[in-house]
Amino acid sequence: MELTTVWFCLIAVLWIGYFVLEGFDFGVGMLLPVLAKNDTERRVLINTIGPVWDGNEVWLLVAGGATFAAFPEWYATLFSGFYLPLLLILVALIVRGLAFEYRAKRDDAQWRSRWDLAIIIGSFVPALLWGVAFANILRGVPIDADMEYVGGFFNLLNPYALLGGLTTLSLFLTHGAVFISLKTDGRIREHARELAARIGVVAAVITVVFLGWTQISTGSIASAVAFTAAALALVGGLVAILGGREGWAFLGTFVAIGLGVAGLFLALFPDVMPTTLSDGVGLTTTNAAATAYTLKIMTIVAVIFTPLVLAYQAWTYWVFRRRISVDHIPAHPTTPATSAR
């Protein structure tokens, strides 16, 4: 297997890791005003992701860095063409991170409500726009013979891309609700379980339509297998949540998102950013790649450090595996640690 193909697969794995992990973070943030009746319950929800949300975002940083190093032409065209939506995502992630850190700095209800709003918006915007961005990559965008994006912002707001945004938004809401039911106890757990079942049905319909559209447009046999398995995993997760099996339900949504993203990359390969112009030049794993020496050095580094990162993150999830409830929240929030907010 050529190193260009290897790095295409590794970047796909990084995006899969980001969406399956950060996906439930976004879901929890968006569900903050729905599942929490008071500040104590909001702190319960934030504590479910407090120890892990920043680690989950590392997958995005590594995916972006790997794309820059392995496929510089892809990175350059993507960030120049998708500048505004990617900027909005970046700002939303920054504001959301600040909200996690600062909401407990003052014992003031209005102060916390404003930061809670930042968490909600900072979770909603990326959850929607990531789907829009990936759908446009699959559909193709106007790229000229110099491999430069020549379209505008409104080229990105096409029906297929907007459906992609609704797909990621609904899946992340479902994933987050299932995660909350897995990590909490009491009233929040019961409410999250009911909500996950209701949102999950809507997410399943939207997802099937989007994946079907993708398969018809650009799919392959491999992507069809991945999409079918993703749909079955999502249905299995919904059946499990209806039966009160939160662990199996979370595994179902986890696998569904992972296989869905894998299917998108399988449908895209060997392109990395196709063009919609008849006289344009689309980007592929060949013409967008870095030099063979660069890819070789990157492969050595990845083989050494990737297992270490995976082991550390797995250990973090194991340490913070227990359920929490309002009984675990102190009367007054402590400021030093994110996980105590």
Alpha carbons 321 and 183: distance in angstroms, whole number: 8
What average pLDDT score do residues 46-58 get? 89
User: Taking the CA atoms of the chain, what radius of gyration do you get in angstroms?
Assistant: 20
Give the angle 282-285-287 at the CA atoms, nearest 5°: 60
Q: Which structure tokens are listed for 295?
A: 């890819």
pLDDT at 233 over 80: yes
Alpha carbons 206 and 209: distance in angstroms, whole number: 5
- Position 328 scores a pLDDT of 72
If phi over 0 gives left and psi between -120 and 50 gives alpha, with beta otherwise, what is residue 144? beta
Residue 193 vs residue 333, higher pLDDT: 193
Helices 221-242 and 246-268 cross at an angle (nearest 10°) of: 160
For 272, phi and psi rounded to 5 degrees? -120, -20
- Position 205 scores a pLDDT of 96
What average pLDDT score do residues 329-335 get? 60
pTM assigned to the model: 0.92
pLDDT at 339 over 60: no
The mean pLDDT of the chain is: 90
What average pLDDT score do residues 292-304 get? 91
- Position 144 scores a pLDDT of 87
pLDDT at 340 over 70: no
What average pLDDT score do residues 192-221 get? 94
pLDDT at 341 over 80: no
The pLDDT > 90 percentage for the chain reads 68
CB 257 within 8 A of CB 23: yes
- Position 261 scores a pLDDT of 96
CA 34, 37, 38, 39 torsion: positive or negative?
Answer: negative
- Position 123 scores a pLDDT of 96
Give the helix, strand, coil percentages of the chain, each rounded to 5.
75, 5, 20
Pick the closest to residue 118 from 103, 106, 131 (CA basis). 103
User: Alpha carbon 333 to chain centroid distance?
Assistant: 29
Q: Is 28 exposed, middle or buried (0-12, 13-18, 19+ CB in 10 A)?
A: buried
At position 315, the amino acid (one-letter code) is W
For 99, phi and psi rounded to 5 degrees? -65, -40
pLDDT at 244 over 60: yes
pLDDT at 336 over 70: no
- Position 338 scores a pLDDT of 47
pLDDT at 46 over 70: yes
- Position 230 scores a pLDDT of 96
Per the document, the length of the chain is: 341
- Position 300 scores a pLDDT of 92
143: helix, coil or strand?
strand
Alpha carbons 321 and 307: distance in angstroms, whole number: 21
- Position 331 scores a pLDDT of 67
User: Alpha carbon 14 to chain centroid distance?
Assistant: 10
Name the pLDDT band for 335 (thresholds 50, 70, 90).
Answer: very low
* pLDDT tens, position by position, 144-167: 888 888 888 788 889 999 999 999
pLDDT at 27 over 90: yes
pLDDT at 73 over 60: yes
- Position 297 scores a pLDDT of 92
Neighbouring CB atoms inside 10 A of 159's CB total 10
Pick the closest to residue 104 from 119, 86, 82 (CA basis). 119
What average pLDDT score do residues 133-152 get? 88
What average pLDDT score do residues 19-25 get? 94
What average pLDDT score do residues 124-129 get? 96
What residues pair up with 236 in beta bridges, in sequence order? none
- Position 280 scores a pLDDT of 84
pLDDT at 91 over 80: yes
Give the angle 15-116-165 at the CA atoms, nearest 5°: 35
- Position 15 scores a pLDDT of 95
pLDDT at 209 over 90: yes
What average pLDDT score do residues 140-145 get? 89
What average pLDDT score do residues 197-215 get? 95
DSSP code, position 321:
-
Alpha carbons 180 and 65: distance in angstroms, whole number: 31
CB 326 within 8 A of CB 307: no
- Residue-wise DSSP of 134-163: HHHHHH-B-B-TTS-B---GGGG--HHHHH
Alpha carbons 1 and 14: distance in angstroms, whole number: 19
